[in-house]
Structure 1
Amino acid sequence: SIVLVLCISALPSFSQGRVVREDESGFAECNAFFAGRVPPDGFAEPFHVKICQHFNKEPRFATLYSTRDKIPLYSAFKYSKPAPGEEEQWLVEPQLDDPDSALREMVREADVAGTVANLGASQALSSDYVDSGYERGLLNPGLLHEGDFQVAAYTLTNAVPLSPSLSQSWHRDVARVVEQALAPHCSQTDALFLVAGAIPSSVRVKGRVSVPESLWLAACCDAPRGWSLGLLKTPSDENGLADLTVKELEKRLPAGANLFGSSCGGDTQSPEAAEAALQAVRQIHSGQRQGEQDSSLVRKVLGVIATPFVKLLELLVSVLVGLLKLVLYFLWLLTKRVAGAALDGVCSLWDGLVSYLKAIGTVLLSIPCDVGRVLVNICLGFLQILQDLTSLTYRILSIPVGFVLHLAAFPYRSLCAIPSVLRDAAAGIGGTVSLLLDATAALVHGFCYLAALVGRRVVPRVSSDE
């Protein structure tokens, strides 16, 4: 924040809005904007703050600001010279919200966001006017000034919420009256003191900023043959501008209000000069009203004449709009179809590309697996060959061992086999003898049987022959 303060202070053309201390007299150096250097009386409230508006290190006008209503109660200034409006650069006063702020000058709201404590607690901000239906109307219109005086007028401490039409009429009427009536009827232009103010109401923008119930302007020509007068504008009569004496105007203000007192010429005021200035104001206002009436009549006549052409033009416009809608709808459908086809093609291409990449990825991933599988098979083959060689070697080495073992066991097995062989031989011989006996017996039996059979055959035949 210190760097920000230094950067802002270094700007060559910067608006300073110094809050006047209580121990200072009036508005300090801005007392020069009041007749006789005496500010108005009757506006002493705890929530009223005096501001001496500066620009380029010079005082430009004075403002009494209400921190409760968050609008200026009045701004005192001098008429300099009218000029076209420049670019608006709205500023805020940091000291209103933070008396301890190191910023002793007005700054752009965006430049101090987050650096000033309670910003907006005692003054209006630009955000209060956003989407509110109200404009920032200047009590001290920038159109009455040129150069630095005009730039200094665009501060939120000099603005009140006004409807767009009321803001336009206020700036227009005040500029015309001051430029065409008041200034020409003051023998010394530098002696024309102006105080523009607003009377707060209970209506508030976004619950914060008071909407004025009326606007007023008090003028004092503090010169030989001087004069003073007042003007009042109400929202109910946006195009009207009531002319009053200063005393009559003070009755519309808070009780005890005294705008000029004896500071505006005193007994040296000229009633004739005041009347002349007042007549000039009324002439401007009546001429404005007449011009508005004439323009209204002309507008009515032109409206009657132009109505058929306007209707025909509206018909043609509606037909053209309809054709344009059809063309746009056709183009939209065509674009939609083309975009859909293109999108489908892109999607198909994308799907094919994804599938191709997926297949390539699968093949690439399978290559290491196949290589690993081949290597494993090769290793298994080598192991099998090694196993076979080992088995063959074992078998080759095991033949002599078996032969030696069998040869060493031959005597033992031969001796052990002799009893078995003798037993088997005896059994064989016994069997052979038994077989011979059985064969002999069977042969004898056979012969006996044969003899018996022959005998039975022969003996009966002999018997029969006998």
Structure 2
Amino acid sequence: MGLSNLLPCLSLAALLVALPDAARSEVIAQGEPGFGDCDAFFYQQTPPEGLGDLPKVAKICQKYRHQPHFATLYSTQDRIPIYSAFKYQEGTQCCPEEASWMVEPQIDDQKNGLAGMMPEAEVADSVNNLGTNQALTSDYVDSGYEAGQLNPSFLQKDDHQLATHSLTNSFPVKPPLQDVWHWEIENLVSRALAPHCENGKDLYLISGAIPSSHKVNDKVSIPESLWLAACCDDGSNTWSMGFIKQAAAEKRLEDLSLEELEKKLPEGTRLFKNNCGQDRHDPKKLEPVGKSVKKIKAEKPALQSKKSLPMPHQAPKEEECGFMKKLFYFVITPICRLLTFAIYMVVQIVKFIFYIFSTLLHMLITGLCTFLKTIASVLMHVFTSLIHVLVNIMNGLARNIYRVLMVIYRIVCVPLNLLVDILSFPFYVLGAVPALLHDIARGVSGLFMLLINGITNFVRCLSWLVTHIAKSILPHMST
């Protein structure tokens, strides 16, 4: 009897030691964008717009065994989920005995150090104010309502299926409505939506509940209506579809467009980014989906009640505890809590010391790297400056040598040019004699020709004069 009460305590303590990182909350802090590790369950990793602005809501990345399984926007005011975003997986039959209703400790007690969903029975005595902001199984006792799943377990498998048994994924529902809702959602997704979207590979699903003013045990809101939105994007084409259902068993799911569904939700709601890639919508892709939906809606729901997890009033009565058992429990429980707290504090202190050590080591390494980098930079600068000085010295020396050689050249060139001119003078003189003789001959011949031309012109002039005189005299003589 003692071991049975002590083992859970020791197991929890061992878990805190083995998994110190588990102290991180899976409830996303207010003001932080997205849903952390659960953004992958949203189309283009973008949560819906508008619904997150509702009062008193908490964003939960639903984790089980430290793995993300779906995302939930939970109303701490109505204690039901506003929506759950998930991906379809071909479900398998879940064994109720392997699952139990789980809660999210961080919603009620952010300092408890427990991460992710945990069975309510295991944390009932270790979480302060449990049930202040979320529903518990005791809220359904003798109410006539059961806990329905917004993200249905039969659309999941393995740990994803077990993770849906969280009270932050549940809402109050009458058994007839639950049977119809489960049958419709299961058949619509598995037979109409997923087969036309790579068997759910590219299918993004968001199921939601619209809370009403009616509450179970004056605590948990009863949904006014339930809805489902689907977005398929295969990379080239997209299609989308919406469904809504009034909270009555005889009401069937109504299919409508994504825009029409958003108009029935709070103003400003946008369920998928860019309206599920509206610019790439392909009506032809949507036609077979619509036909499959109409075919399923024409069928009569097979009201074979899904096996649900037992609520407290359904569980078999345990044997009454004896006085010694109760006394032992009241003695061991504080010791367990004290031991758990002590181990938790030791872990936190070790983590703090490790953080300080790692910070100092990081600062030391950073400072050393900066020092070495600065030294290397200075040495490189000195080396480059030295090379630059040597190059300038060699350049100046070369210029001076060039100038000296030019002066020597000019000095040597003066007598050399004079000597060359003196030696070449006779050759210049001899070379000029033929030209001179030629010029003299041309001058003499020119003078001779001038003399001949003068005599000729004189004779011609004299001849003309004689002839003119003779002509002027002879006619008078003949008369």
**TM-score w.r.t. length of structure 2:** 0.57
Q: Structure 2: 5+ residue runs without aligned partners?
A: 1-7, 304-479
Contact 2:66 2:116 in 1 (8 A): no
Tell me the alpha carbon deviations over residues 298-328 of structure 1, each in whole angstroms, 9 at most, x when there is no partner.
xxxxxxxxxxxxxxxxxxxxxxxxxxxxxxx
Contact 1:36 1:263 in 2 (8 A): no
- Cα distance in structure 1, aligned partners of 2:173 and 2:249: 13
Task: Choose from 20, 29, 40 the match for 1:21.
Answer: 29
Q: Does 1:49 align with 2:58?
A: yes
Cα distance, 1:129 vs structure 2: 0.9
Q: Does 1:175 align with 2:186?
A: yes
CA RMSD, 1 decimal: 2.4
**Structure 1 counterpart SS, 2:148:** strand
Tell me the alpha carbon deviations over residues 188-245 of structure 1, each in whole angstroms, 9 at most, x when there is no partner.
6311000000000000000000000100000000223321000111123545110011
Cα distance, 1:272 vs structure 2: 1.7
Contact 2:229 2:243 in 1 (8 A): yes
Q: Does 1:163 align with 2:174?
A: yes
| Aligned counterpart, 1:65 | 74
| Aligned counterpart, 1:203 | 214
Q: Does 1:115 align with 2:149?
A: no
- Cα distance in structure 2, aligned partners of 1:10 and 1:234: 48
- Cα distance in structure 2, aligned partners of 1:53 and 1:186: 25
Alignment of 1:259-298 (within 5 A): 259-262=271-274, 264-288=276-300
- Cα distance in structure 2, aligned partners of 1:17 and 1:229: 34
- Cα distance in structure 2, aligned partners of 1:10 and 1:60: 25
> CA 1:115 to 1:212, structure 2 compared with 1: closer, same or farther past 3 Å?
same
Q: Does 1:248 align with 2:257?
A: no
Contact 1:77 1:194 in 2 (8 A): yes
Tell me the alpha carbon deviations over residues 145-202 of structure 1, each in whole angstroms, 9 at most, x when there is no partner.
1111101111000000000011111111101100000001114631100000000000
Larger RCO (CA within 8 A; separation ≥ 6): 2
Cα distance, 1:286 vs structure 2: 0.7
Task: Choose from 13, 37, 40 the match for 1:6.
Answer: 13
> CA 1:184 to 1:256, structure 2 compared with 1: closer, same or farther past 3 Å?
same
Q: Does 1:90 align with 2:101?
A: yes
- Cα distance in structure 1, aligned partners of 2:134 and 2:43: 28
**Structure 2 counterpart SS, 1:183:** helix
Contact 1:186 1:226 in 2 (8 A): no
> CA 1:9 to 1:159, structure 2 compared with 1: closer, same or farther past 3 Å?
farther
1:242 is aligned with what amino acid?
A: E
Contact 2:215 2:222 in 1 (8 A): yes
| Aligned counterpart, 2:46 | 38
Cα distance, 1:70 vs structure 2: 0.3
> CA 1:183 to 1:173, structure 2 compared with 1: closer, same or farther past 3 Å?
same
> CA 1:25 to 1:77, structure 2 compared with 1: closer, same or farther past 3 Å?
same
Once the two structures are overlaid, the 10-residue window that deviates more, 268-277 or 129-138, is 268-277
- Cα distance in structure 2, aligned partners of 1:10 and 1:263: 46
Cα distance, 1:108 vs structure 2: 1.5
- Cα distance in structure 2, aligned partners of 1:75 and 1:11: 31
- Cα distance in structure 1, aligned partners of 2:237 and 2:188: 19
Tell me the alpha carbon deviations over residues 62-86 of structure 1, each in whole angstroms, 9 at most, x when there is no partner.
0000000000000000001121122
Bigger Rg, which one: 1
- Cα distance in structure 2, aligned partners of 1:191 and 1:92: 30
- Cα distance in structure 2, aligned partners of 1:172 and 1:188: 19
Task: Choose from 147, 151, 158 the match for 1:147.
Answer: 158
1:21 is aligned with what amino acid?
A: A
- Cα distance in structure 2, aligned partners of 1:288 and 1:188: 24
Alignment of 1:414-433 (within 5 A): none
1:75 is aligned with what amino acid?
A: S
**Structure 2 counterpart SS, 1:240:** coil
Q: Does 1:194 align with 2:173?
A: no
Contact 1:193 1:219 in 2 (8 A): yes
Number of aligned residues: 289
> CA 1:10 to 1:221, structure 2 compared with 1: closer, same or farther past 3 Å?
farther
1:48 is aligned with what amino acid?
A: V
Q: Structure 1: 5+ residue runs without aligned partners?
A: 293-466
Tell me the alpha carbon deviations over residues 248-288 of structure 1, each in whole angstroms, 9 at most, x when there is no partner.
11111111111013162231111121232122111111133
- Cα distance in structure 1, aligned partners of 2:185 and 2:17: 36
Cα distance, 1:24 vs structure 2: 3.4
- Cα distance in structure 2, aligned partners of 1:83 and 1:191: 20
Contact 2:105 2:114 in 1 (8 A): yes
Contact 1:221 1:264 in 2 (8 A): yes
Tell me the alpha carbon deviations over residues 328-375 of structure 1, each in whole angstroms, 9 at most, x when there is no partner.
xxxxxxxxxxxxxxxxxxxxxxxxxxxxxxxxxxxxxxxxxxxxxxxx
Contact 2:38 2:68 in 1 (8 A): yes
> CA 1:186 to 1:110, structure 2 compared with 1: closer, same or farther past 3 Å?
same
**Structure 2 counterpart SS, 1:174:** helix
Cα distance, 1:23 vs structure 2: 5.1
2:120 is aligned with what amino acid?
A: E
Contact 2:180 2:249 in 1 (8 A): no
Cα distance, 1:17 vs structure 2: 7.5
Contact 1:17 1:106 in 2 (8 A): no
Cα distance, 1:32 vs structure 2: 0.3
- Cα distance in structure 2, aligned partners of 1:62 and 1:123: 16
| Aligned counterpart, 1:257 | 269
